[in-house]
Structure 1
Amino acid sequence: MKAKSNLSLLFVAICLLAITSCNKQQTYVPKTTLADSLIYAATSVQDLDRAVFLSDSLLATGDISIFRHCYMKGSIFIRTGKTHDAEAILKHALAIKPQNAYDSLFYFQCVKAMVEYNRQKNDEEGLLRIALPAYEGLYDLVSKPEYASEAYDILAEILQYVGVSQLNQGLTTEAGKYFDKCYDCILKVKALDKSWKHDYYATVCLYNIASLYSFKNDYHTAEKWLNYTEPIIKEMANKDNVPAVIADMSWCTYYLDRATVYHGLGKQKEADQAFEAFKRTQYAKTDIAKIHEGEYLMKTKRYAQAADAFAVTYRYLAESGSERTLDNVGYLIKKFEANYKAGRNDSALSVAAYTFENLDSAITLEKKNQAIELATIYQTQQKDAEIAEQKAKLLQTRVLALLVALVLAMTFFMIYAVIRRRQRISLEEKNQQLMIANARAEESLRMKTKFIQQISHEIRTPLNILSGYAQVITAPDMEIDNETRNDANQQILENTDRITGLVNKMLELSDVSSRTVIELTDQVPAVQIANQAVHSSGIEDAAHLDFQLQDTDGAGIAVLTTNQQAAVRVLSLLLDNAMKFTAPAEAYGHHSAADNKRATLTITKHDYGIQFIVEDTGIGVPAAEAEHIFDEFVQLDEYYNGTGIGLTVARSLSRRLGGDVVLDTTYTAGARFVFTLPCNW
C-alpha cells in the first residue's frame, strides 16, 4: 500500500507539470519553483530511479537548469554508490559558468556535493582545491536576501569539510578557525530563517565536528561542540511543524555522541545515563542506529551487547542496496570483532566466511573500477593521438606552403626553420614525458593488481583454515578428544588474529598515503619503547629463535620527545620482520636445518639521538635491494607469506617522527635494520 501511495504522489506531480506546461510562461523562476516541488515529491518517497527519470525529463523540457539537474543526479548517484557517475556529472556542472543567482545557488550545491565526494575518498588536496575558491564566491550569493539562508547553509557545510580536512592533516588551529566560521554561518541562518530544516542541517554539521574530535580523542573539544548542538535541537523539537521522526533522530544521535564523549572523559555514570536516553528514542531501533550502538559498546568493552547490536548488519547491507565495496566489508569486520571478543566463536566463524564472500565481490568490483579508469585513460590517449595527427597534418601543410614561398623569401624560410626546430624539440619532450607517465601508470596498475592478489591470498588462507576447523568442530557425529579440540581452538585464535593484523596493516597503509602529521608530545624512556615493542610483537615467545634485548652505554634511560604509539609500532614491525625471516628452515625448504636462529634488539646512543638496532640471522637482504625493500608491496622471497607493506609503514612513520629506518648493508649474517629517533642530549 505504501508503494502504491508513493507512485500515486509521483503520478499526480507529473500530471500537474503536464497541465501547467500548456500555459508555460517565459519567466524562469515560476517554472523552476514547480519543478522543485515535483523533484522534492519524488525524493521524499525515496523513489530514486523515478527521481532520476523526472530530472532528465524536466531538463529536456527546459523546466530546470543544468545545475539543478546535475546536483540532483550527482547526489542520488553518491547515495547509491555510483561514485564514478556522480563525479562525472558534477564535474560537468562545475565546468559551466552560472548566468544568474538561482543557477549560482545550485552551482554551489554541486560544489558542496563534489567536496563531500572528495572527503569520502580521502582526497584532501582535491577537496581544498574545490572548496576554497567556492568559499570565497559564496559570500557574493549570501548578499542576496532571497538566497541568503540557503547560501549560508551551503557555506556552513563547505567550511565544515575544510575544517575536517585541516584537522586530519594535523592543522588543529586552522581547523578550529574554519569550524568557528561554520558555527557563525549557522547562527546567521537561524537569524534569517526560523524553519526547522535549517536547524536540522545545523545539527548535522555540529554532530560531524563533535564526532571528529571524539575520533581524535579530544573529548573536551567534542563536548564543547555538543553543547552548541543541544539548544538548537531543543528549539527545533519545540516547533509545531517539525516531523516527529526528525526530532527523535536528532535526539538519538545527540545522546549517543554525548555518551561517547562522557566515556572518553571518564564520566561513566553520565555516559550510562546518556546511553539509556539514546535507547529510549524510536530511531535507536533502526538498523543504522543499532550499528552505531554496537560501535559505542565496543568502545566500552561490552562485547556481548555489541555483538547483539551488530546482528542487524546483514539486513542493513542488504536493504541499503549499495555495492559490495571494501568500505562495506568494514561493517562485517566490526561484527566479526564483536562476536570474537564476546567469545562467540561459532558466530565469528560464520561472519568470517560471509566476509570472505563479500571480500571476493569487493575485490572484483575494485578491479572493475580500475578497468573503467584504464578505459578513461585509453580514451584520453586516443584523443591525444588524434590531436597529434592533426598537428602533423597541419605541419605538412605549412611545409608545402613554405616550399612554394622559398623562392620569394629565403629569410622567411630560415626563420621558419628555427621555429619548426623548436616545435619539434618541444613535441619530442612532451612525447617523452607522456611515455614516462604511461610507464608509471602501468607500473602503478601492476603493483595495485599484485597487491589485490596478495591480499586475497593472505585472507583466503586463514579463512580456509577457519572454515575447515569449523566443519570439524560442528560435525554432528564427530567425536574429538580434548587435545585435538584444544589444537583446533588454538588454530582458530591464531588465524583470527592473523586476519585482524592484516586489516590493521591495510588501514596503516592508507594512513601512510595520507601523510598526516604526527604530534610529538610524549615523554618516554627509550627502554620503555623497546619493551612495549617486544611485548607487542611477541618475539620473546617465538620458539624457533633466541632473542635478546641489550642496552649499551645506558642509552635505554634516555627520555625521548616523540609519539609513543607510533615509535612502538615502527619497532614492532621491525621485530615482526626479524621473527618471520628467521622461521624454521623446514617450513620453506630452502635453508639449512642446522642454522642457529637468533635475534637481538640493541639500544645505543648516536650523534643524532637514540638507535634501536634489530639484528637477526635470517635469510638477509641483498645490498642492491637496500632501498627497494621499503617500496610498497615489495617481497624479495615469495616463499614467505606477507603483503610487502610492513617496511613501507615503518619507514613512513619513522620519518614523520623525525627519524629514519635504514638497512645496514655491512652486516652479512642476516639482516640488520637501524631505527633512529632524535634526542636532545
Structure 2
Amino acid sequence: MLTTDLSGQTNPSEEDSIQQDYIRRLENIQGDKARMDSLYHWCRLTLNSECELMLLKKLLALAETNNNDKYKLHCLRNIMRCQYNIGYETDTLIASYEKIVNLNLKSKEYRHVLADAKSYLAYQYIYEGNFVNVYDLANEMFRDFASEDHYGLMKANEILAHSYSEIFQDFKALEYAKKAFELSKENENDYSEALYLAMTICHFLNNVGKPEELLTYTNEIGAMVQKEESRKTENELDYYRTMQHAYAIGYYLYEENLDSARIELYRTKEIDAPLDEIDTKLRNMMMARYFVACNRPDTAWICIEGLDTVAPLIYQEEQARVLAAMGRYGEAYEWERYIAHRISWAFDETFSNQIMEMETRYKLFNIQAQKNEILRYALIGGGIAALVIIILVLILYFRQKSDAKKIARANNTQKIFLQNMSHELRTPLNAICGFSQLLTDIDSRALLSDEEIQQYGEIVRGNTDMLSTLVNDILDVSDMESGKYHIFLDHCHPNEICKKAIQTVSYRCPANINLYYTTEVEDDFEIYSDAQRVQQIIINYLTNAMKHTTEGEIHVHCSLKENPDMITFSVTDTGVGVPAEKADLIFERFEKLNIFTQGTGLGLAICRQLATLLQGKVYLDTTYTNGARFVFVHPLKSAEDKGSQKQ
C-alpha cells in the first residue's frame, strides 16, 4: 500500500527553514540512541517531504554507526517510499533498491523491506508504462518469497493487480487483488494492507460490473475496522467506514433494495471523514447511482456535475449514464466518445515501445514479392482500414441511442474491444502507409534497389493479410452473436481440407520450422461437414502455432483411431506451450498467454464457436508437454442420412 502525504505542501524556502530547525534541535540532543529516537519521531511528522528524506538519511548514518539493524531497515524502506511519493527519477529509486538488495540479510523483517522496495520500484515502472519490468519484478517475488513468507507474495499480487488495472484489464486486476487480499488477512496485528486491498477489490468490482460481490467485501471492511479500533485514530477509521457504506450502496442497488441503499447513503454522508479528491468522487458516484435508480437523474447530476477530463474512468462513465438518463443524449454521446478516446490513447501510450519493436521486426522481414502487386495491396489495405474505422464509428453511433442500462452493459465490451484492437490496427496500418508512400514516391523509389522494392512489397502484403484477418475475425464474431452466421454441409475430403489449410499459411512459416502433414485416412474418404469452416479452424490453429514456435516443427495430423466414431484433426508444435490451468481460458475471447504477442485474441474463440456449430469440439491436449497440441474432433455422420443443410 502506498503511503499518503500527510505533511501538506511547503515552498522551497519554508522547506529549507524546517530542515535547518530540525538540524539545530538535533545538535542539542546528547547520545546516539536519543538522537535516533528523536529522528524517528520527526520523520513521522514530515511524511513524504524533502525534510523527511533528510532526516531519514541522518537516522540511517547513525544506525549504521551503531549497527542498529532495526533503524537501518526502517530508513532504507522509507527512503524509497519517500523518493517515490516525492517524484524522484527511476535511477535514484534503483540506487536505493540496490542498497537494500546488497544487505542480503536472513531476517523476516528484511524480507518484508525487500518486498516493499520491489513494490515501490514496480509502481515507478507502472507510472512510466514499463510493464515488462513490472512483470519481471513480480515474477522475482513469486520465486524468492514462495517458501519464506506470505507478505512478499501479497505484494507481488498487489503489483500485478495495479498493473493490469492500468491497461484496463480489470478482470485480471480483480483476480490478483483477491489473491493479495487473502494473503494480507494473515497479518492479524495490522489490517492496514487488508483494508486497502478490500477497498481496491470493491473498486474493481464496480469497474467490471459485478456488484453482487460487493456486500462480501464491505462486510470484511466493517469487521476489520472493529478490530483496528484500538490501533488507529478515529479519522482513519471513519475514512474506511465512509467508503464501506458508499460501496454497499452499489450492492443494494443490484438487489433492487432501494430502502437499504438509502440507509447506506445516509450513513456515508453522516460520517465526517477526511477523503481525498479521488475517494470523494467515488463516493459521490455511488450516491448518483442511487438517485438514478430512484428516477431522480437531476439530483444525481448534482452529485457528479462538472465534466472532469482527468477523473477516474468509472466516474466519467457514470457521468455519461446520468446525462443519458436526463435525456441529454447529445452530451452523453460526446462524453462517451471522449472516454473511448481516453482508453485508446492510454493503451497506446502504455505500449508504444512494444508497438515500435513489432514494427521494426516487420521491416526486417527478408522475403520476396512481385513488383506489380505493391500498389494493389496498398489499396486493399486502405479499403480494409476504412472498413474497420466505419465499424468503430457505427459502434459508437448505436451506443448513444441506447438507454442508460444498455450503455452500462455495452461499456465494458467497448473497453475490452478497444484495448485489444487499438494497437493491433496501428501496427499494420503504419507499415502499409509508410512503405506504400516510399514505393509510390518517384524520387524515393529511384533510390531503392530491386531487392529492396521486392522486400518492401512483401511487407505491405504481409500487413494487409494481417488487417484482413483482423476484420474477418471481427465480422465472424459479430455474425455469430447476431445469429446470422451460416454453415453449409456437404460431402468433403479431410485430406484435401488439411492440405489447403497448410498451403494457405505456408508462406508465413519461418524456414527453420518443419511444417508437415500426416494422415490415417485415404484421399477419397468423405465426411459430411462444411469444408470451409473446418479449414478455418485448422488455419487458426496453424496461425496460433506459428506465433508461439521459434524452432522445431508444426505437425498437422488426421486420425480415425484417436476418438471412436469421430475424426480427429490435430495441430502439434514445439513452441512455448500452454499451462494446463489455462487450457479452457485460452478459448475465451481476447485471451492471450502473452499480452505483448501480436494478435486479437479472437482466433481460438472462433474455433470453439465453429466446432459447436459443426457438432464437434475443440480442446487443448494437456498430456502433451513438448509444446502445444490443439485438437478438433468432428462427428462421422452418415452422408445417406443427410440432405443439403443450412444453419
Which TM class, normalised by the smaller chain length?
Answer: 0.3 to 0.5
User: TM-score normalised to the size of structure 2?
Assistant: 0.47
Task: Answer 1 or 2: which has greater helix percent.
Answer: 1
